[in-house]
Amino acid sequence: MGIDLRVYLVTAGSDRHTVEVAAAAAAAGAGIVQVRAKEASTRELLALLGAVADAVGAANPTTRVLVDDRADVAYAARRAGRRVHGVHLGADDLPPPAARALLGDDAVIGFTTGTLDLVLQAQSLVGVVDYLGAGPFRPTPTKDSGREPLGVEGYRPLVEASRLPIVAIGSVGVEDVADLAGTGVAGVAMVRAITGAADPADVVRRSLAAWDAVRPGAGRT
C-alpha cells in the first residue's frame, strides 16, 4: 500500500481532544497522522500513541500513524500489536538506518531537513527513509528549528535536488496548500491549522481539494 503524503497531521497535546482531532483528520482523508508530544514521558507517549492508533484505525484504515522522534516507542507499540506504522526522525534521534533495522522493511520512516545542504546530505538515505520533512515554511511557535523560513519559492530547489519526496511544514494553512503543491513537494504537514480548528475534518477536506486542484494524483508514493 502506498503512502499518501498530501495532507499530513502533526498532533499537538496529549489529551482526549488530541485523539479526537486525529480521528477526525483521518476520517476526512489525512494520509498520515504523526503523534508529537515532546513533554510526555515514554510511558505517556506510548499510551497516547496507542490511543491515537486505535482511533485513527477505526476512522480510516488507510491512514498511517507515526510517532515523532521515538523509534523505541514505535517499536514497543508495534510489538504490542498496535496499528502504528513508523517514526519521524530528527538529526538528534536514532540514525535512520538503525531505526529501519529496528522497525523493519514495512515501516514508514521520515527524516527532518530544511536547507539545501541538509537535503543533499539526506540523499544518502534513499532506500532507508521514505520521505523528508522540510521547514519551516514560515516562522512557527510549535518548533524552533533555528533555520530560516523557506517560503514558497524556497521549496523548489529542495525538490529539484531530492530523490526523496519532500513534505513542507511550518505554519502551513489551507490558503498555502495550492502554492506549495505547485512547487513539487509531495505534501503539506499541518499542526495548528488542524488541531486548533473548530472543524478539523473540514480543514483536511479543503486542503485536499486545494491540493488536488493543482496536482491531481500527486503526493502518493
* Binding site, annotated residues for Mg(2+): 69, 93
> H helices of 60-141, where?
71-79, 96-103, 116-122
Strand, helix or coil at 118?
Answer: helix
Q: For residue 136, say if its preceding peptide bond is cis, omega within 30 degrees of 0.
A: yes
Q: Which residues in the chain belong to E strands, given as ranges?
A: 7-10, 32-35, 64-68, 86-89, 108-113, 131-134, 166-169, 187-190
Q: What angle do CA 152, 153, 155 make, to 5 degrees?
A: 80
List, as residue ranges, the binding site. Answer: 34-38, 68-69, 93, 112, 140-143
The burial of 126, by beta-carbon neighbours within 10 Å (0-12 exposed, 13-18 middle, 19 or more buried), is given as exposed
